[in-house]
Amino acid sequence: MDISQALTVTELTARIKQTLEQGFAHIEVQGEVSRLTKHTSGHQYFTIKDSHASISAVVWRTSITRLKHLPKEGEMFVFSGHLSVYEPRGSYQLIVTRIRPVGAGALAAEFEARKKIFAERGWFAEENKLKLPPLPKHIGIVTSATAAAFEDVKKVFQSRPGWLQLTLSSCVVQGNQAAASIAKAIARFKTLQHQPDVILLVRGGGSMEDLWCFNDEKVVQAIVQSSIPIISGVGHEIDTTLADFAADCRAATPSNAAEISCPSKQDLQQRIIPSKRLQHRLNTSIQQYTQHIAHKKQSLRHIQQRNMDYHLQQSASLQQQLTESFYTQIHQQQRYIHQQYQRMLPLEPRAQLRQKQKYLHQLQERLYASSIQIIPHQEKQRLAQSQRLHQTYFNRLQQCKYQIQSCIEKLRALDPKDVLNRGYTLTTHRDGSLLTSCQDIHPDDIVHIHFSDGQIKSQVQAVNIHSEHRGNT
């Protein structure tokens, strides 16, 4: 073998470095942390091991500030990163850029599954979210009374307007009981006599396990069912929970949630319009409204004139209809009286008397003819029958006279003049239309009262309607 073809240690190490770093640029390794060393430079060195092997690992200081989880001696983690070769010693190690506890992958899968289910229910729909009040007077806070997030929120509100009222609904924000506690804290605001204008749901940062209660169905449903807008400020900016998707507004941090809920005093001062500009706007608005009112007055006059013309036409039409209706009723009454008169003519006493006399004459002739033919021993019987016949005729004649007299009285009762003679009157409007109800008369109206021998003109002073007729008015 030619010595000139042999690799130097540096060359071999460089090839190994290239092969490892290119072949294992993105890897995940699960194992237990041991021999953890925190260097004064801020880097952390440790060993990842299992029951058969181990590998060196390091977390640079620049990566530590971005990690949610840091390595802990004796605990299991899943480490993400890439392999790197340290050429002076010819050793390799894992450069860690991300750390998550064992089981975090299952939580992430559960997070996505719940997110899909809640989204299908419409809990994250933008059209269902409530609008935040531009300038609230009362803010509700849902968090632990001892949490650092509560202190951060109170510091922000120190720069907010002095009228702002804060109400804490304390709850547990971590652990098995946290979800039910948070849901009750949100619902508690509905029972207050003076409900807040907006609710802040806040908590400091933590691992996915620490924030898992904010992914619970009870919490998400309580947010969706709240009639008060809710701002979610859970964890840090990189933390995401299902409560953030359900909330009406999401904030990066608890402090940011407080900043979003109410503008600062400085922002409010900047919104105040200078007096001169305000006066100019006011004068402009007054001028516009004056022109608008003048235009509306002119339009109103036209509308009033049209309405007056319409009502006059309606009044004339109604008056004509009433007149026609009155004369129609008069004609109908006249036809009815004529019909009754024609029906009563056969019952007129003279006609009845003539008919009865004719009938009597016929009977007399028949009686005379019968008397001549009947044998003498029946004369006494004929005399008795004749007397009974005369008596029947007399009784029948009296009955007919009574019926004729009754018919005459009925005819007289139907005669309008006879009604007026009995003390009744007929009342009409000034235009001659007949009055049949007190509801058609108003105080100060002029009416004509017709008697049998004339009429009088009268002015109405008051109208009293019987109580049993008032319900029909």
Q: What is the per-residue pLDDT for 160?
A: 86
Does residue 346 surpass a pLDDT of 50?
Answer: yes
Give the pLDDT confidence score for residue 274 in this predicted structure: 64
Mean pLDDT for all residues in the chain: 85
DSSP 40-94: TTS-EEEEEE-SS-EEEEEE-HHHHTT-SS---TT-EEEEEEEEEEETTTTEEEE
> Residue 273 has what pLDDT?
61
Task: Evaluate if residue 275 carries a pLDDT over 80.
Answer: no
Q: How far apart are CA 344 and CA 411, in angstroms?
A: 8
Q: Does the pLDDT at position 339 exceed 50?
A: yes
Q: Is the pLDDT of residue 289 over 70?
A: yes
Classify domain 7-102 by CATH number.
2.40.50.140
Would you place residue 473 in the very low, low, confident or very high pLDDT band (cuts 50, 70, 90)? Answer: very low
Q: Which residue has the higher pLDDT, 356 or 186?
A: 186
Q: Which of 239, 191, 189, 197 is nearest to 214 (CA)?
A: 239
For 124-142, write each residue's pLDDT tens digit.
999 999 999 988 999 999 9
pLDDT confidence bin for 45, thresholds 50/70/90: very high
Which residue would you say has higher pLDDT here, 321 or 469?
A: 321
Topology of domain 129-270, per CATH?
Rossmann fold (3.40.50)
pLDDT class of 375 with cuts at 50, 70, 90: low
Domain ranges of the chain: 7-102, 129-270, 348-371+379-414, 426-470
State whether residue 201 is helix, strand or coil: strand
Q: What are the pLDDT digits (tens) for 85-117?
A: 988 888 899 999 998 887 666 677 788 889 999
**CA gap 260, 207 in Å, rounded:** 25
Order of strands across the sheet that contains 454-459 = 426-429, 446-451, 454-459
**DSSP strands (E only) in 323-438:** 426-429
- Placement of tokens 């009597």 in the chain: 360
pLDDT digits 0-9 by tens, 230-264:
999 998 877 889 999 999 999 999 999 999 998 88
What is the C-alpha R_g of the chain?
56
Query: Model pTM?
Result: 0.43
